[in-house]
Structure 1
Amino acid sequence: MPRSISLLRGTRGVPWLLMALLLVAPASWAAWGTATGTCTATEEPAADNSITCTVATANMAAGSVVVVWSATDNVFSSGQTTTHSISDSASNSYTRACEYTYSPGGIQADGATISVFYSKLTTGLTSGSSTITLTTSNTLQLVSKMVPAEAR
């Protein structure tokens, strides 16, 4: 069987990949800064397949890049998964940068699924009224935290 190297498999390759990306990053990446808008969702006690939060603290302008990460109970046993999706009330399109599941016992809800999504906003998000929603493929208890970071 042919062997291949995967930088995103396991945890050892991720720091090297991040370092490589930073070394070849164009000058335009210097615009990255701290989040100006936040949106935090926390534990939902009942089983569900989505969780929504309202954008707080600041508007996120059209043209900004927004990065959203989340952590939930796992649906599958391990590995790279595609069980989560992100949407917002302004109908911006989000791309999955990565999603990984860790399950020490190999069963549902004994580990965690971590997801990272990004969007270059075509329509801005307004503080206090715009929402961001995380949706999972299965109904489970969502122990989630979504934190968007914005770059202009």
Structure 2
Amino acid sequence: MKKIVDERQELELLKIERAGFYVLFFALAADISAKTLFFQVPFRALIGENVAFLAGCVTILAGCMKRGLWNYSSKPGLKNYLLSSLIGTLIFGLMFLASLIYRDIPHAGYAALIFAISIFILMFATLAAIGEYTKKRQAKLDQEYEDEDE
């Protein structure tokens, strides 16, 4: 199939596709979260949404790790792992607390605190593992490209 767009148009298409992916990603995440936390929709009813969501997550994560990329505005490091883990913990912890309060669960605060601590540890460990792998992969790719230039 012959490509009929020039480089500028291709970059614009990539930006549009990226924006579309993020809209779909966050809309799907919000839908799954709302249905699970507030409407008590059983997990079985959300299998399709979860598979689609995880497929998007794994595709982006594997692609970035394979190419030694982290993101546009930061590098992998302890500060970013902590900050990202704290932000994620706040988001998911508050959503979990709200769902417990909505369902009138006793001791919702304690349950939410334990959940938040667990989420923080899980997120930090995952980000640290992925970040350290990404740094090693990036160094390896930099060395390969450096060897090709010589």
Q: TM-score, normalised by structure 1?
A: 0.27
Highest RCO, 1 vs 2 (Cα 8 Å, sep ≥ 6): 1
More strand per residue: 1
TM-score (norm 2): 0.27
Q: Please tell me whether Structure 1 or Structure 2 has the larger radius of gyration of its CA atoms.
A: 2
Which has more helix, going by share of residues?
A: 2
